[in-house]
Amino acid sequence: MPAGETIRRLVFFAMSLFGNDKLKGKRVAIIATDGFEQVELTEPQKFLKNEGAEVHVVSLKSGSIKGWDMTDWGDKVDVDKTIDEVKVADYDALVLPGGQINPDKLRLEPSVVDFVREFAHTGKPLAAICHGPWLLIEADVVRGKHITSWPSLKTDLRNAGAEWQDSEVVVDSNIITSRKPDDLKAFNQKIEELLTTPR
């Protein structure tokens, strides 16, 4: 590995370990419900908080929601706000974790679909990973966009008018998408990049 790459990785590791204020003053909503893929919520949440952002887990009900950890139920995560308590104007970015169960439940909720649709039209960063793009399909915001996802969504996305790509992270305008937990580092970095790039 070249020395420059080693130094870059060490700096990134130190920043992720100790955090910084790069995203200070930014507010991020993570919309999820029971059955979210554990790391697809907790890793962006941790990364964004370490960078100084205020992060709210938004769900259908108050209390807590339970994650799915690869092959079985995972840990509970506290809910900060319910969907009826939040407005698009309150947030600088929106994150949609995957897991099969979570977005499948959420796409049946008109209040969530409306929130995602409205957010997409603001031009603010909207990031969806794994099965999360099901919500983008339901909100009808993928037409003509380059999108990636878990491979089983490829046909759904193409049928909704998207150009599907098999890449770790794809950015088209304000929409960021990734395929799976292995892509989280690139996914998180693109969220930060779009949050710190003047629009």
| Residues acting as catalytic residues | 130-131
| pLDDT band (50, 70, 90) for residue 70 | confident
What's the mean pLDDT when you consider all of the chain?
93
Q: Is residue 130 part of a domain?
A: yes
Residue 171 pLDDT exceeds 70? yes
Asked whether residue 69 is assigned to any structural domain, the reply reads yes
Asked if residue 33 belongs to a domain, the reply is yes
Question: 105-139 burial, b for 16+ CB within 10 Å, e for fewer?
Answer: bbbebeebbebbbebbeeebbbbbbbbbbbbbbbb
What is the tally of structural domains in the chain?
A: 1
For range 75-94, the mean pLDDT? 98
Q: What is the pLDDT of residues 95-120, one digit of tens each?
A: 999 999 999 999 999 999 999 999 99
Chain segment 8-51, per-residue pLDDT in tens: 555 555 555 555 789 999 999 999 999 999 999 999 999 999 99
Residue 189 falls within a domain, yes or no? yes
Cα 187 from Cα 179, distance rounded (Å) = 9
Question: Residues near 103 by Cβ (< 8 Å), separated by ≥ 6?
Answer: 96, 131, 132, 133, 134, 135
Residue 84: inside a domain, yes or no? yes
Asked whether residue 1 is domain-assigned, the answer is no
CATH of the domain at 182: 3.40.50.880
In a domain, 182, yes or no: yes
pTM for the full model?
0.90
Residue span of the structural domain in which 34 resides: 21-196
Q: What is the pLDDT of residue 175?
A: 98
The better pLDDT of the pair 133, 15 is held by: 133
Is residue 6, in this structure, part of any structural domain at all? no
